[in-house]
Amino acid sequence: MVRKIIKDTFILMKKSEKAGKGDIRIARDLLDTLNANKEICVGLAANMIGENKNIIAVQMGIIPVVMINPVIVSHSAGSYETEEGCLSLEGVRKTRRWNEIEVEYDDMMMKKHKNLYKGLVSQIIQHEIDHCNGIII
């Protein structure tokens, strides 16, 4: 189900709770909402649709991927400054992002994964994990 995008910073600043098998409906709604906004959005966190769960959806090329309880377990020493927009916020803001990240997460079948990401996908994942941690750029 496509959900309304939350713009209330009080809600967005809350740290997300760990997600479990019972939260797969939220993950599906996140995918539906990402697909409905694919012309203007490349990633979403569950709190952006009003759910305080540690779940993100990231557009990786033509395939959207859901990450449940994603954690950055390592990152490159190098970082860069960039500007990012957000569907929940007006305008763009400056932020720093690592060049590469390694992320552990569960998929929608609750199967564990650990992958290395770089480039735009890495940047999107970092942005959405920030959302899960209550960090607003």
- Using CB atoms within 10 A of its CB, is residue 112 exposed (0-12), middle (13-18) or buried (19+)? exposed
107 in Cβ contact with 68 (< 8 Å)? yes
Strand order from edge to edge, sheet including 55-60? 43-45, 55-60, 63-75, 100-106, 112-118
Active-site annotation holds for 51: no
Catalytic residues: 128
